[in-house]
Amino acid sequence: MRFVDSKFIKEEGIMRLSVLLIPVLLLASCRTSQPSTEKALPGACGPINVSETYFDLDQLTYLQGAVSGVSSPRIKNLVYFGDSLSDGGRLGQRSFDTVIPKCVYWNNRFSNGPVWADYVTGGTGWKGKNYAIGGAETGRTNMASGFARFLGYADVRRAKSTIQDVITAPYLSQIDEFKRDQAKAPYAPSATLISIWIGPNNYFNSGVKAQKADGLPDPVLVNTMVTKVVADIAEGVKKLQDMGFHDFVIGTMPPLGGVRAGTPGHVGVTFETNVLLKDLHNKMVTELVASIKDDGNRVALFNAYDITVDTNNHYQDYGFTSLENCYKGSPNGFFPDKAKSFCSDPLGSKLWDRIHPSTRMHCYYAGQFMKDIQDAKWVQGVSQERINAACKDIKFKNQ
């Protein structure tokens, strides 16, 4: 009897499915209908089209009034690197609306409205380049991600620029893309603030490897994993320094397993492992910020963990009615129920889907970011209280 490696069978199946997807992607790229009305895949989407119904594009500048008194002696540009928490629509656009479709994700954001980077850039009026993309990990590959493996197999020619690189660019590849763009339309380094907020996907996808057989975390393996992630972040900072940039904001990790407290993670990662990964990550990121400062740079923490926990513990004070997610379906736009319905209070839910914040929560992230860069003396005139009041008052366009 000849034995066949089960891994080979699984990978062969993925490759066949990936090849079948290629015509779908090619057809999607040729569509001429309005993007906001497209149904990405047959059977996806429901009667309410989020991108058409909830907000117009002017929501991107919603915080202009709340930050109207903000000024900076030199910062005029913002550059963002990260994952789905900062993605300004790149994954949805690059996958031709087959992932994160506009019908259930506002203009391909992982939310029901703008994400925090949109609110910051639109509010300040600074120029912005956003390289963040959903699914990104910190290194040069996203190979721990099943979705990334799927995209990798889809490239049947094995070209140097694989579909994985094109669609799900990890953190270090995002910086490479920025470097190429700098050669064409450069931002002056002295006038540019760099935001780096990344890491959860490494732990979601590989955290189970840091566990013992009983599901509890192995401290040695956790330390090894987090050390590698933070080293990747540091490598990216060094590359940016070599390009002349010296102003950085690095985000802390929200509670894993979702940006709320107490939920389990992905792929068998236990709550206990998530907690240890998050705690050690934030400790090491804080130490990294201190070390970069010692190297003659201006660096600050984006205290995303703090605002996440505070909005969890006092969610009603922030205008939320629930810590649950409003959309119960998949990232492809498929609903679990025949009615294909959202929750009754989409702005009151702290989460939009299972792990991604609603646009109101993103607005609070923007307020935290603005406070943190003011504390670091990049800007002045920020009132987090005024920004938070505006966030609490967000309304849909028909309200």
The stretch 4-26 carries a mean pLDDT of 37
- pLDDT digit string, tens, across residues 66-78: 998 888 989 999 9
- Sequence-distant (6+) residues with CB within 8 A of 341 are 46, 48, 335
Residue 100 or residue 2, greater confidence: 100
Residue 83 or residue 268, greater confidence: 83
- Identify the pLDDT of residue 264: 47
Cα end-to-end distance, the chain, whole Å: 68
Integer CA distances (angstroms), 317 to 144, 258, 275, in order: 38, 21, 25
- Identify the pLDDT of residue 383: 95
Whether pLDDT at 15 is above 70: no
Cα separation, 112 vs 93, in Å, equals 16
The stretch 201-223 carries a mean pLDDT of 93
Tokens coding 55: 């907000």
- Full-model pTM: 0.86
CB 302 within 8 A of CB 368: yes
| pLDDT interval class at 258 (50, 70, 90) | low
- Mean pLDDT computed over every residue of the chain: 85
For tokens 């732990």, what's the residue? 203
CB 136 within 8 A of CB 168: yes
Share of the chain above pLDDT 70, in %: 81
- Identify the pLDDT of residue 144: 42
Whether pLDDT at 161 is above 60: no
- Identify the pLDDT of residue 269: 86
Q: Is 384 helix (H, G, I), strand (E, B) or coil?
A: helix
Burial class (CB in 10 A: 0-12, 13-18, 19+), 386: middle
- Identify the pLDDT of residue 168: 74
Whether pLDDT at 245 is above 50: yes
CB 356 within 8 A of CB 278: no
The stretch 268-285 carries a mean pLDDT of 93
The stretch 139-150 carries a mean pLDDT of 55
The stretch 251-258 carries a mean pLDDT of 83
Q: How many residues does the chain have?
A: 399
Whether pLDDT at 263 is above 60: no
- pLDDT digit string, tens, across residues 169-194: 899 999 999 999 999 999 999 999 99
- pLDDT digit string, tens, across residues 289-347: 999 988 788 999 999 999 999 999 999 999 999 999 999 999 999 999 999 999 999 99
Whether pLDDT at 151 is above 90: no
- Identify the pLDDT of residue 399: 82
Share of the chain above pLDDT 90, in %: 72
Tokens coding 304: 């995303």
| pLDDT interval class at 397 (50, 70, 90) | very high
User: Which domains, and CATH codes, for the chain?
Assistant: 74-304+355-393 (3.40.50.1110)
Concatenating the DSSP letter of every residue in 291-343 gives HHHHTT-EEEEE-HHHHHHHHHHTGGGGT-SEEEES--S-TTS--SSTT----
CB 237 within 8 A of CB 292: yes
The stretch 11-25 carries a mean pLDDT of 38
- Identify the pLDDT of residue 64: 95
